[in-house]
Amino acid sequence: MKSSMIAHESTLPRSRSWMVALRGFAKPHALGVERCNVCGQPVGGDHDHLLDIAASQLLCACPTCAADPAAAGSNTRRIPREVRPLTGFRISDAQWDSLLLPIGLAFFVRSSAAGRVAAMYPSPAGTVESLLPLDAWQAMEADNPELARIEPDVEALLVHRVGGARKYYVAPIDRCYALAGLLRREWRGFSGGQGVWDAVAQFFAELDGAGVAAHDRIVQHA
């Protein structure tokens, strides 16, 4: 993603809700009123997002505009809501260390514009892109075939390896940027402070809950 996806300061109340953490990445709303960035209609707190691929910008969307993303432009795509935990994901500690990422939080997104997979990690200053060798991604994909089914631009492999955690998800790109926004907002001092890591733990607990809810919906309709 381009630098336009780096978070801006928010005047909204502090909250650990992932949707609030995301607001700095979406197109701003006048006077803090949440509206559809396509038609201008008010949207609720739990609403869909579109991705303007050309501008690398998230757009809030009402149900009508979310169902017809082309109305916002030919390069606009709807961001899915489903979170898919990858319980059998395979990557060794040596493979992870070879990626040279400075933090155990990262997401990997296939950019259709660039024609490659970008490795992104959150930092106190926003998201940072790290060079990802092609062979490193190919090795992960060979060990985890489900990675080939990730939708370009709007889904990502999200990795949580802070401390003893070993969690992997196919997650909507707005959730990934919400994590980056949360880290920027909560970080204190040199090491971040306990508050930021508590917020990260809560974020992934909510993400696990979203994955369970999606699985239950699939089972109910099977």
Instruction: Quick: pLDDT tens for 58-87.
Output: 999 999 999 999 888 889 999 999 999 999
One domain, residues 69 and 88: no
One domain, residues 174 and 90: yes
One domain, residues 184 and 140: yes
Q: Decide: helix, strand or coil at residue 42.
A: strand
Q: How many domains does the chain have?
A: 2
pLDDT band at 26 (very low <50, low <70, confident <90, very high): low
Q: What is the pLDDT of residue 34?
A: 82
Residue at a domain's end among 60, 78, 96:
78
Q: What is the pLDDT of residue 158?
A: 98
Instruction: Tell me which residue range forms the domain holding 162.
Output: 84-221
Q: How large a percentage of the chain has pLDDT more than 90?
A: 59
One domain, residues 107 and 42: no
One domain, residues 74 and 89: no
Asked if pLDDT for residue 166 goes beyond 70, the answer is yes
C-alpha–C-alpha distance, residues 32 and 52, integer Å: 21
Asked if pLDDT for residue 153 goes beyond 50, the answer is yes
120 closest CA partner among 186, 169, 176, 204: 176
Q: Which secondary structure element, helix H or strand E, spans residue 123, and what is its range?
A: strand 116-123
pLDDT band at 8 (very low <50, low <70, confident <90, very high): very low
Q: What is the mean pLDDT of residues 48-63?
A: 92
How many residues are listed for the chain in this entry? 222
pLDDT band at 95 (very low <50, low <70, confident <90, very high): very high
One domain, residues 40 and 103: no
At 126, phi and psi to the nearest 5? Answer: 125, -155
For all residues of the chain together, what is the average pLDDT?
Answer: 82
Q: What is the pLDDT of residue 12?
A: 31
Look up the pTM and report it.
0.81
Q: For residue 189, which amino acid is it?
A: G
Asked if pLDDT for residue 218 goes beyond 90, the answer is no
One domain, residues 41 and 69: yes
Q: Decide: helix, strand or coil at residue 194.
A: helix
Residue at a domain's end among 78, 111, 126:
78
| Angle formed at CA 143 by CA 174 and CA 129, multiple of 5 degrees | 40
Could you count the other beta carbons within 10 Å of the beta carbon of residue 72?
A: 21
One domain, residues 119 and 199: yes
Q: What is the pLDDT of residue 143?
A: 96
One domain, residues 115 and 212: yes
Residue at a domain's end among 78, 104, 119:
78
One domain, residues 191 and 88: yes
Which of 79-83, 115-119, 122-126, 155-159 is predicted least confidently? Answer: 122-126
C-alpha–C-alpha distance, residues 79 and 33, integer Å: 21
Q: For residue 109, which amino acid is it?
A: V
One domain, residues 91 and 73: no
User: What is the arrangement of strands in the sheet containing 57-61, beginning at the earlier edge strand?
Assistant: 57-61, 48-52, 76-78
One domain, residues 54 and 33: yes
pLDDT band at 22 (very low <50, low <70, confident <90, very high): low
